[in-house]
Structure 1
């Protein structure tokens, strides 16, 4: 009988040593949190992309100052517009100048728009859908040859899509309604499931993460408009909002050997708020 206590090389279970990662929308917020995690977990190269070259350069400078990187490991700036086919093709070309393969693609770039139902702009809805859904599909499609290059049954490549709990329940409604954002995140979660089945035989695993509220540039305006950070933390079953380490832990898990048999999943990172049914409950010692 096999020894059920034996685990193959447990110390390296969460290691990303030598891996190559690309993070779209990686110059700030959750994308930068994830890029930092990939680099500190052992990646040899982490490519940071967003529309603004200066933002990519600034993020890369911060990342390359981290103290506990593998020898020779570095972040690389590759600015591009992930909402258009030409921008994605430019991104793939830039990455290909440095490497002939990619092990981890984090499709994180996204946009939102808040406006009431009756005046919700057509152009805004289209912009959100183009980046959050079509852009994700095209990015995965164009990176697929690089993702397949070194992928094997025992060591598959990974795609991580940044979705949202807004795609699993209702998002912001009323004056700051985010109809396009919520619809786009529901769509991209299901896109990820379809791609997981289609690309799994090519040794490319596709999973989605579904963050709740994290204090980021993208979310802070909505957080303030709907009661502020303290109110949102108080109504969360875990009594706090998300932190960078919460994103880091999940993406390293999905990208490492620890997540090698996870495919088509949508992992909520929200402290349980999705299941709180919108109820605003205060802790006993609250002064709000």
Structure 2
């Protein structure tokens, strides 16, 4: 009988040693939290992409000052507009100048729009759906050859999609209603399941995360408009809001050997707020286009 207490190389279970990661929407907020986690977990290269080159450069400088990186590990700026096919193709070309493979794609770039029902513009709805859903598909499609390059049965590549609890419940309503955002996050969750089944046999696993409220520079405006940080924390079943480490832990789990048999999954990171009648549902920081 096999020894059921034996675990293969347990110390490396959550290690990302020698992995290469790309983070879209990585210049701030949850994307930058995840990029920091990938580097500190052992990645040799972490590519940071957003629409603004200066923001990417600032994020990369901050990441490369981290004290506990693997020798030679570094963050690399690859600015691109993920809202267009041309921008995504440019991103592939830039990344390909530094590496022949990508092990982890964190599809985090996104946008939202808040406006009441009567005046919610069609153009804004379309823009949010395009970036939050179509651009995710195109990004995964264009990066699939790099993700497959060294993916194997025992060491698959990973795609992690940032969705939101707004895609599982009801998002923000009223004067700052996020109809397009909520619909887009529900759509991208189902897109992720389809991609997981399509790409699993190619040794690419696809999973989604659904953050709730994380107080950041981007989120604080909506938090204040809907009652403030203390109110939201007090109504949360866990009695607090999200922290950077909460994102870091989940993305490292999904990207490491610890998550090597997790595919087509959705992980809520909200302290249970989605299921609490006392908390606003679907609350996630409003992410302006990066």
Instruction: Tell me if TM exceeds 0.5.
Output: yes
Structure 1, gaps ≥5 residues long: 281-288
Cross-structure match for 1:17: 17
Within 2, Cα distance between the matches of 1:82 and 1:119? Answer: 27
SS of the residue aligned with 1:217? coil
Matched ranges for 1:63-102 at <5 A: 63-102=63-102
Give the 4+ runs in structure 1 shifted more than 4 A. none
Within 2, Cα distance between the matches of 1:279 and 1:212? Answer: 11
Within 2, Cα distance between the matches of 1:225 and 1:40? Answer: 35
Within 2, Cα distance between the matches of 1:199 and 1:54? Answer: 34
The alignment's TM-score, normalised by the length of structure 2, stands at 0.96
Q: How far did 1:278 drift? A: 4.0
Q: How far did 1:279 drift? A: 4.8
- More RCO (CA 8 Å, sep 6+): 2
The alignment's TM-score, normalised by the length of structure 1, stands at 0.96
Aligned-CA RMSD value? 0.8
Cross-structure match for 1:253: 253
Structure 2, gaps ≥5 residues long: 281-290
Within 1, Cα distance between the matches of 2:48 and 2:217? Answer: 18
Q: How far did 1:219 drift? A: 2.0
Within 1, Cα distance between the matches of 2:123 and 2:218? Answer: 19
SS of the residue aligned with 1:264? coil
Aligned residues: 280
Listed one character per residue, the Cα deviations across residues 56-105 of structure 1 (whole Å, up to 9, x for unaligned) are 00000000000000000000000000111000000000000000000000
Listed one character per residue, the Cα deviations across residues 93-138 of structure 1 (whole Å, up to 9, x for unaligned) are 0000000000000000011110001100111111111110011000
Within 2, Cα distance between the matches of 1:28 and 1:228? Answer: 22
Cross-structure match for 1:276: 276
